[in-house]
Amino acid sequence: MTPKLILASSSPFRRMLMQNAGLTFEAHAAHIDERSVEAPLEREGATPDAVALVLAKAKAKEVSDRYPACLVIGSDQTMSLGPQTFHKPRDMADAENHLRILSGQMHRLNSAIAIAYDGDIVWEHVSHAELTMRPLDADFIQRHLKRVGEKALTSVGAYQLEGEGLQLFSRIDGDYFTILGLPMLPLLEKLRELGAIDG
């Protein structure tokens, strides 16, 4: 019997990606305090990749512990500019600061994914995308944030590439799914390998 698939996320974007791919699954948010998981990692100088992967595995494991005999997919994304790791902006002033720092720079999105079964991690993966933001002047940043509103607070970069945030960029290297935080192609390949979806 094929194990039930569970997405350990409340993200509407991740749910949409899995639904669009024709997957049958349930979605259950992980009950973890992401900041308390991240804090010691950052103090130890963990890479943005490592932080994303630890969080993805923690989410998958926490939900897997509650739903045995299911394949649980956990994911997380960090954003890095050189050695600096970014988190979701706390408020609109923080979002403005994010965009000011990213203006004219190339940053990296690190999208990690993990699958757990019966509380054990059975697979993990990290994909990258590199995005170059065009130079933005301060007045434009304020006008842009006024238009997009609170949505700017829902992503690490204070932008949504699937919306008006696309206008902020001059170059994108990487696949769309990685940018949205769920690397679908490696995930689908692994699910076929595990016999969880029709191959």
What's the pLDDT score for residue 84? 85
DSSP letter string, 106-120: EEEEEEEEEEEETTE
In this structure, is residue 113 part of a structural domain?
Answer: yes
When pLDDT is averaged across residues 10-28 and rounded to a whole number, the result is 94
Considering its fold, how many domains does the chain have in total?
1
pTM, two decimals, is 0.90
What's the pLDDT score for residue 168? 97
In this structure, is residue 60 part of a structural domain?
Answer: yes
- Tokens in use for 73? 């997919």
In this structure, is residue 198 part of a structural domain?
Answer: no
In this structure, is residue 109 part of a structural domain?
Answer: yes
Cα distance between residue 88 and residue 107, in whole Å? 15
Cα distance between residue 43 and residue 154, in whole Å? 24
What's the pLDDT score for residue 4? 95
In which domain, by residue range, is 64 found?
4-193
In this structure, is residue 114 part of a structural domain?
Answer: yes
- Tell me whether residue 49 is one of the annotated catalytic residues: no
Which of the pair, 25 or 86, is modelled with greater confidence?
25
Catalytic residue among 33, 65, 76, 118: 76
Residue 50 banded pLDDT, cuts 50, 70, 90: very high
Q: Spell out where the chain has E strands.
A: 4-7, 26-27, 70-81, 84-86, 106-117, 120-133, 169-173
